[in-house]
Amino acid sequence: MTIMTESAPGAAQGDQAAKAGNPAQTQNSGAKLEMVLGITKTGSLVTNPKAPDTFFHPIGNGIRCVHDGKLSDTTLLQGHDGAVNCVSVSKDGTRLASSQLGVKTDVILWDLKTFEKTHVLSVHDLGVQCLCFSEDSRLLASVGTAKDDRVYLWDTRTGNYVCNASLKGLKVENACWRGDVGANGEYVFVTCGQDGCHVWKVNPYQGLLAAPLGCNTGSIKRHCTCVLFGRDQSLFYCGTTSGDLL
């Protein structure tokens, strides 16, 4: 559940009262509840990088778009026949990808100008765990569940997959792309999960996806839940269930 708040009109007066040592008046300070949104428990809320006040979240078999942070101005995207569990917006803000739970799982690409489906990707047999657009928005990684055991790389313009590979039994929870592209057209993305972090290299021009390279953390074993590249793209950071940052 997501709650949006704004400062209440009396917040400033409440702060002044607190400084003056008047506890009775401080009870009126704080935040004003603006809206409450119900979100599918398996999904998450994502924003549009080019319009941060516009956000998307799963709601049953659909995806709701809240425009400019106004619950009175929404668009419901419908196309799945199962509960939506993953939503991702491309870095250029033009496309949205969504997936659902269950067998014969569809991944749908949406045009965020028209809010129409552009491509339906039907290759995952046993569920999708996460979706992630490359920094140039050209590629989409759809990572299956441990049971599905596949990762697919898609050309977002044509809807065709450029390559795929087995997850080798990895239980992936999240993924992130490196921002730069190699001189030979090579992209890099990282997956993380119960088995730590793994680095993948893909060349979409040749349709090649190399086997994942595990990160050697020595005696440190962590369950990683999120991953993000730093600004200079030379390092990536992983959050863990134990509270450590790798």
Q: What is the pLDDT of residues 60-89, one digit of tens each?
A: 889 999 998 887 888 999 999 888 999 999
Question: What pLDDT is stored for residue 191 in this prediction?
Answer: 93
Is the separation of the CB atoms in 170 and 224 below 8 Å?
Answer: no
Alpha-carbon distance of 209 to 69, in angstroms, equals: 39
Task: Name the residue with tokens 């619950």.
Answer: 71
Mean pLDDT calculated for residue range 163-188 = 89
Q: What is the pLDDT of residue 101?
A: 82
Q: Above 90 in pLDDT, residue 225?
A: no
Give the DSSP H/E element, type plus range, for residue 80.
none
| Pairing relationship of beta strands 105-111 and 116-124 according to DSSP bridges | antiparallel
Q: Residue 169: which pLDDT band, with cuts at 50, 70 and 90? A: confident
User: What does the block give as tokens for 27?
Assistant: 């009870």
Q: Which two tokens stand for residue 19?
A: 């400084």
Can you give the pLDDT at residue 28? 59
Indicate if the pLDDT at residue 235 is higher than 70. Answer: yes
Mean pLDDT taken over the chain = 83
Q: How far apart are CA 75 and CA 63, in angstroms?
A: 8
**Residue 115, pLDDT above cutoff 60:** yes
Strand order in the sheet with 116-124: 84-89, 95-100, 105-111, 116-124
The pLDDT of residue 44 is above 90: no
Mean pLDDT of 171-186: 88
* pLDDT over threshold 70, residue 1: no
pLDDT confidence of residue 196: 86
- What pLDDT score was predicted for residue 36? 66
Distance, in Å, from the CA atom of 52 to the CA atom of 46, rounded to the nearest integer, reads: 9
Q: Which of 138, 137, 109, 111 minimizes the C-alpha distance to 122? A: 109
Residue 45 has pLDDT above 60, yes or no: yes
pLDDT of residue 108: 95
Tell me which of 23 and 137 has the higher pLDDT.
137
* Helices (H) then strands (E): counts for the chain: 2, 21
- How confident is residue 5, by pLDDT bands cut at 50, 70 and 90? very low
pLDDT class for 22, splitting at 50, 70, 90? low
Q: What are phi and psi of 186, to 5 degrees?
A: -85, 130
Q: What is the C-alpha R_g of the chain?
A: 21
Decide: 49 and 93 in contact? Cβ < 8 Å. Answer: yes
Cα–Cα distance for residue pair 187/143, rounded to 1 Å: 16
Give the pLDDT band (50/70/90) at residue 143. very high
Which residue, among 136, 66, 63, has the nearest Cα to 106 in the 3D structure?
63
